[in-house]
Amino acid sequence: MISGGRLRFIATQSIPSTARDDLGMRTDTWTTGGTMRVDLRSDSAQEQSYADGVAVVRNFEVRARWGSAQNISLNETHRLSVNGHTLKIRAIRNLDEADRVAVIDCESVT
């Protein structure tokens, strides 16, 4: 179980557009989805080559109640905005398969 006192932040879900352009590629727009209370933990940060320069990639662990993640239909194609960070979801795990805690592995590129 996750303690309610640890759920200090509100995460806002961003859902990718399903619209396609003339080439059949998905358009780069996002729709605001649901919100849920979460615990945000920074795992690591590293500097690496990114696009045409250098960027800092930070890894985060976001924990939420399993039911909250299910209620907003959260999946790996979505993004989360938490405490000023826009996070790309890499994986969503059901901790101990107990349907109580969702452990969401994320990264942020700045």
Q: Residue range 89-96: average pLDDT?
A: 96
- Asked if 2 and 101 touch (Cβ cutoff 8 Å), the reply is yes
Q: Which residues contact 76 (CB under 8 A, 6 or more apart)?
A: 89, 90, 91, 92
Q: Residue range 32-54: average pLDDT?
A: 90
> For the segment 72-89, what is each residue's pLDDT rounded down to a tens digit?
999 999 999 999 999 999
Domain boundaries, the chain: 4-109
- At residue 2, does pLDDT exceed 80? no
**The whole model's pTM is what?**
0.87
Topology of 4-109 in CATH? Thrombin, subunit H (2.40.10)
The confidence score (pLDDT) of residue 1 equals 64
Q: Residue range 20-41: average pLDDT?
A: 90
